């Protein structure tokens, strides 16, 4: 009912002692047991993207280095297509953001750029309600609505 997500490292020992994030198999469970008095829609979006990446059969980690975090790095599959396997290479990076605005744009983009520097040039997504492309340090960052991502229509927008 709950999945555990670890910080990426090539060392299994470092993975086991790293920070951990937890995601529910159903966001209804999160709402049912939450002690929060306000909705955290951004966290629910992140849970939905995690579940979709799992459904596609990807191996998923998060990456936190030097205070900069990338929500999800996908290993083995590229996350853009079902069943696309490329061994153990990290092939995709994702940031999930409910409301991308001037105040959080730099932080969200920095996480994707950091993942790209760590694993090589890659595409990244920030999911929200608009569609656009941002170029930062030779990294193509596609901003797409979460529904487009879930339907697998990213390459068509």
Q: What is the pLDDT of residues 7-45, one digit of tens each?
A: 887 778 887 877 888 888 887 776 666 666 556 788 888
Q: What is the pLDDT of residues 118-152, one digit of tens each?
A: 887 667 888 888 888 888 888 888 899 988 888 88
Residues 6 or more apart from 72 whose CB is under 8 A from it?
49, 50, 53, 60, 61, 62, 92, 93, 94, 96
CA 45-47-51 angle, to 5 degrees, is: 115
Q: What ranges in 1-155 are assigned the alpha helix state H?
A: 12-17, 27-33, 41-55, 105-119, 146-151
Q: Which position has the higher pLDDT, 70 or 80?
A: 70
Q: What is the pLDDT of residues 73-120, one digit of tens each?
A: 998 755 444 444 456 778 889 999 988 888 889 999 999 999 988 887
Query: Considering its fold, how many domains does the chain have in total?
Result: 1
Note the pLDDT of residue 87. Answer: 62
Note the pLDDT of residue 86. Answer: 54
Residue 33 CA to residue 132 CA, distance in Å, equals 35
Residue 55 has pLDDT above 60, yes or no: yes
Domain hosting residue 51, numbered range: 2-156
Among 81, 55, 58, 80, residue whose Cα is nearest residue 8: 58
pTM of the full structure: 0.81
Q: How many CB atoms lie within 10 A of CB 40?
A: 14
């Amino acid at each position: 009912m709950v999945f555990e997500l670890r910080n990426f490292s090539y060392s299994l020992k470092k993975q086991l002692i790293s920070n951990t994030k937890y995601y529910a198999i159903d966001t209804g469970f999160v709402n049912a047991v939450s002690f929060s008095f306000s909705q955290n829609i951004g966290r629910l979006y992140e849970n939905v993207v995690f579940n979709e990446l799992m459904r596609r059969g990807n191996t998923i980690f998060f990456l936190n280095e030097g205070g900069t975090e990338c929500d999800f790095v996908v290993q083995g599959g590229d996350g853009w297509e079902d069943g696309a396997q490329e061994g153990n290479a990290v092939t995709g990076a994702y940031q999930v953001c409910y409301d991308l605005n001037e105040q959080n744009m730099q932080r969200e983009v920095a996480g994707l750029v950091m993942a790209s520097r760590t694993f090589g040039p890659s595409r990244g997504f920030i999911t929200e309600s608009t569609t656009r492309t941002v170029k930062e340090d030779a990294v193509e960052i596609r901003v797409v609505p979460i529904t487009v991502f879930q339907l697998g229509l990213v390459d068509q927008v």
